[in-house]
Structure 1
Amino acid sequence: MSATPEIRAQSVSDASSAQPDARTRRTVLKAGGALLLSVLAPSRAMAAQILAVRVWPAEDYTRVTLENDAILKATHFTVKDPERLVVDIEGLELNPTLKSLVAKIQSNDPYIKQVRVGQNRPNVVRLVFDLKEEVRPQVFTLAPAGNYKHRLIFDLYPVKEADPIAAMIEKGDWSNDGKSSKTDSASSGGKVAAVETPATPAAPNTAAETARPEHEGRTAEVAAKPAEKYDHNGKLVRMLTVVLDPGHGGEDPGASGKNGSREKDIVLAIAKRLKNRIEEIPNMRVMLTRDGDYFVPLGTRVEKARKVQADLFVSIHADAFVQPTARGSSVFVLSEKGASSTAARWLADKENLADTIGGVNVRNHDRQLASVLIDLSTTAQINDSLKLGKSVLGEIGGINRLHKGSVEQAGFAVLKAPDIPSILIETAFISNPEEEAKLLDEGYQNQLADAIVKGIRRYFAKNPPLAKNRLT
């Protein structure tokens, strides 16, 4: 029996209405497949973009930074004969910014001879660092901090770490040749900081000393017997060591002024002027925690001072505040019981962020050392620091308005050497246009350096340091 016309018409209508449904399903399946492929397959459009490349060469280590808009995964290995470091970065395509890394390697870089950059395979860029000597590389990433996006860091450390005393000897800073051992009058009216202790005859060589191998000729000899000199009465005069710590550096610019000045540059210039003035004083020498534009972690700054058995530690900064009207100089010391003011606590918290902004490899960071420094900070160290801070603050008050008329206290990580009187000087507010102009003026920098020297000499005149054991 044949179907009625109505049924045939209904069947045709049903078939025609089914065709668009099939086409829709096919379209959806194709779109879904394309989307899945775009997610799973590498895509040039989705590759991370390098935003900036920076190189920070220094004697301590060389840092190479790749700043990018996403987290990068990198693997690395070293190759010998000749020495090379090879780094493969995934999820990356070459762009002009990354290629510019080649031109940023300086001929005087202590560790990198040159770098080669190429597309090793799709979505993988390879960097090959041709090295001047064997290095101990650290490759790590940093989360966004401050004004920075994601960063991929290559720190190239020498296999044989630099000895700060040997470095000072090489520069001529660890010798009292040409220095006078007689006392002198400080311009502030106090006596020079020469420390005299009764001379004692040299002990006979022990078996260990006899068996000790010679190290690098004269360098080891001077390091074992640092800067000893006798006055006309036969008394031993000990050299005093001051460690100057220019804040920030390298990846961490510190605060900035309205006219574009950077804290890290200003405080380094002031520290160098201060170094020159202190070294003019008989029986005093200086070590800088950094003498160039590179980053030094807070704990490393303290460790450097302890390695040379510093008598004083002076950290130099240029403050900033949210309001440009803030002004004046300040001196801070460590506090065990909390900050002396809300402003001091705010400043300490900000300065302690230096490791986050400057970039520390957390996996290799010596947290145990940091803990020991906190635990061993003593009341005696803080009391001596307060005396030093008061002397320096009084002298600075003669050339600039003081933000507060007394020494303040807060938990600054860089002041936590347990056995070294330590102060942090905020020279002026770089965020104040008038004070920024002062900080950039060579005349003011000289006045500031002179004032700090007077404060240091006044402190030593009233608080002569004790004799210390020989460095070995």
Structure 2
Amino acid sequence: MMLKLTRRIWLLLLCGLLCAASDPCLNSYQTLEQETQAFLKDKSKAKYHSNWEKLITKFERIPKSYPACEKADEALLRAGRLWLQCAKLSGSSADLKKALADFEALAGKYPESSLADDALLEAGKLHLKLGEKPSAEKAFQKIVTDYPQGDCAAQARKFLSELLPSSPAKPGGTSSEPKQIIAPASPEPSSTAPTPPAKAPLRPNDAIALLLDQSTPAKAKGPAQMQNLRYWSAGTYTRVVIELDRAAEFTPPRLLKPDPAINTPPRIFLDLNHTRLTADFRARYAFKDNCYELPIGDGLLMRARAGQYQPEVVRVVLDLHSLREFKYFSLPAGEEPGWRIIIDIYGEQKTAPSLPPPTRPTPKPGTTALPSPKPSPVPETPQPAPKPPSQKPFIIIIDPGHGGKDPGALGRNKTREKDITLAVAKELEKELKKIFPRAQIVLTRKDDRYLSLVERTAKANALASDFANTQDAIFISLHCNANPSRKIAGVETYYLDNTTDRAALRLAAQENFVSEEVMSRAGDYTNQILADMATTSKVNFSIPLAECIQQSLVRELQSKYSGVNNLGVKKAPFWVLTGATMPSVLVELSYISNLQEEKRLSQSGYQKTLAKGIAAGLKKYEYQAANGQVVLP
């Protein structure tokens, strides 16, 4: 018996060693990512072509050394994009050709990768830039044929239509305006022709595509049920949420111009296919003009209405007073059951705003509140007579995580995350009022009440809508971390963006109320949504905001407490930050699962120290912003 046990132990040790053998690839990639971030920030190094070449060669070496590693494809994509950045500085076509070689190597060696169509799209654009139209056409056509449901297919079709205006895309992408699919159903098998391959399976830690999607549900009997219409509104912003019991196909929202002939206002509409209105929905809203009406009348929207347009098609219409722009995205089942389609509408309100900016006049629309940094290094000594940060008209929205029926994470001694975040939020409010007496400090909740993730961001956007520049508003969501291992401790600050860090994804799944399986699956449309968000100034300004808060928070804690771990600034797909129109961060105050930190979190002194650290970080950020010292990535 003892011999068998010993053998089992040795087998387990051997398995551990075999598993550890795969770590060098992941470690190499992560180390390279850190090296790349430091390199891109160091202009003295980035100006030499040889330094670019050394860095990129390290990425190119990963798929050669570890061809089966899950990071091999990503390393090639990273190498290609770094060559593109290098080419912008060097102006060399040779660098463009090296980028092209990496993109084509990815598509050729890893055709099942979720990044294969991204690589083909980059290759096609490079072929066009190099004057190689036939090769560009071939790359774009391969996307349409092999990855018709991928996030790059629409762009590929557009390029093909420009290259071949008289020739439509070949089978695999027949529609120039494809319908948006929330959760695509599996295609019926064909006995006559093979089904073209769909988007390659996503690797389990590729977050840019998995933020808003969940696993494709099994086909349910009967149509989806539209259950409710909700909205939040203030100033020049309104968020409308369409709630369904499960995923359904819908057409992208379209804007219709006013029609004086039939006296109709401008309106946005979309159709939900294979969907019906529930009996409760019909009973809840007044029936008028062949539809069920939700009056809004906020100066931006007149009303929202829904009707059974066809036996299994529900049409939703938003009648508008004014419109500057609108955006939409979808969220799977998370803290609330079912599926939600979210439409954010921005416009010019006719009446006076309910939240006037304090004292100083609002900047003219289109002006930049945060100037771009100067090329030369920022001097350590501030310029004479800097603008006091407290004089700048802006709003800070503090979001205490969880609340009401949602306790959040629980410590071993039954400490509830929702209680800690609210206590720290109130202390932070006091600190910020001292530092920024003329700013508006608002809490999304002031007591133990439940707010959905969608509602939290909607409130923040509504409050920020009265400022001409969204950088004049800041959104901070407070949370406590948790981990099955009670040894893990520390503080960290997150911003919304793509990540390949499994721990960050695990945490995001926890805060988003979904399983890791849900967070590990991809949708065809979410890449485009998140990619669009990632290019906004909101994300760019969120990074220096997170860095200022993390540095000041750690400094404040370490000055009074021992054993405080600085876990750094990270990125992750938190839904509470999704759709926010302002710089937004999520602060993990400490690990409530760690016995020492749970005890500290329950102490008012520690809560006040947390608040002081975050407030000091905001003061530093606003000072840098007021004096043009915010360094954007």
> What is the TM-score when the length of structure 1 is the normalising length?
0.49
> What is the TM-score when the length of structure 2 is the normalising length?
0.39
Considering fraction of residues, name the structure with more helix.
Answer: 2
Considering fraction of residues, name the structure with more strand.
Answer: 1
